[in-house]
Amino acid sequence: MASELKISGKFRYLDEGNGEVVVMLHGLFGALSNWEPTIMALKGRYRVLVPVLPIYEMPLLSATIEGLKKYVESFIEELKLDTFHVMGNSLGGHIALVFTVAHPEKVKTLILTGSSGLFENSMGGSFPKRGNYEYVKEKVGYTFYDPATASEDLVQEVFEVTKSVGKCMAIVAIAKSAQRQNLAHELHKIKAPTLLIWGLNDTITPPHVAHEFNKLIAGSELRFIDRCCHAPMMERPIEFNEILFKFLSKN
């Protein structure tokens, strides 16, 4: 992205626009650039904050959903945020969920897209194949309805991550933590207006997962985008942003 990272204490983050705050949380292999089209669309009306989650730097004992939730809590405290909208994709959605359950007074609305927390087919469930570019390219392409959406830059970025033993171990630890932590019995506690934006062709958190979230989070709204897989904000940004703006404008 062209935007420059800001630094406050131990935190690195994007900070764009003015207005009500929207906090965006990226996924396990996600990058801040995943949110670029949505940041560009929102920053004229909202203040958008996107923290860099320390997925690859965390000590293995802290490489859990709970550890990442604590990191987000510290980020919110550092920036002295009161109430805000929180949005997460994939693993970021999972973190947004546990944060919302723990801090209902902070969350004005919750937006989930391809969120884990109930069920997911994950690249991180086993040790990623190190040094195998074609394997990584195939797995990254699996995230999209049209594998060509996965740019060479994105594939290269993930490939560089998988070349590190330490980063691979962190990925596996966090992925296993996510798979262990099923939130089905916690979701009734969420009272914030909730929007679920899902790819109709999601192979990682399939449509039945979206329907289950919709059933378990009272009053939640579910919107599907056709010809779209696990990252709607990247693959179908125009449709994604239209749905998002309608929701935010009434909440």
Digit-coded pLDDT (tens) for 137-181: 877 777 888 877 878 888 888 888 777 777 778 888 888 888 888
User: Residue 141: what pLDDT?
Assistant: 77
- Say if 138 falls within a structural domain: no
**Which has more confidence, 215 or 133?**
215
Digit-coded pLDDT (tens) for 57-105: 888 888 899 999 999 999 999 999 999 999 999 999 999 999 999 999 9
- Say if 233 falls within a structural domain: yes
Number of domains in the chain: 1
User: Residue 164: what pLDDT?
Assistant: 76
Its domain, for residue 15, covers 6-120+182-249
- Say if 128 falls within a structural domain: no
- Say if 33 falls within a structural domain: yes
User: Residue 123: what pLDDT?
Assistant: 45
CATH code, domain with 206: 3.40.50.1820
Task: Give CA–CA dist 165/127, Å, rounded.
Answer: 9
User: Residue 126: what pLDDT?
Assistant: 46
Digit-coded pLDDT (tens) for 205-227: 999 999 999 999 999 999 999 99
User: Residue 136: what pLDDT?
Assistant: 78
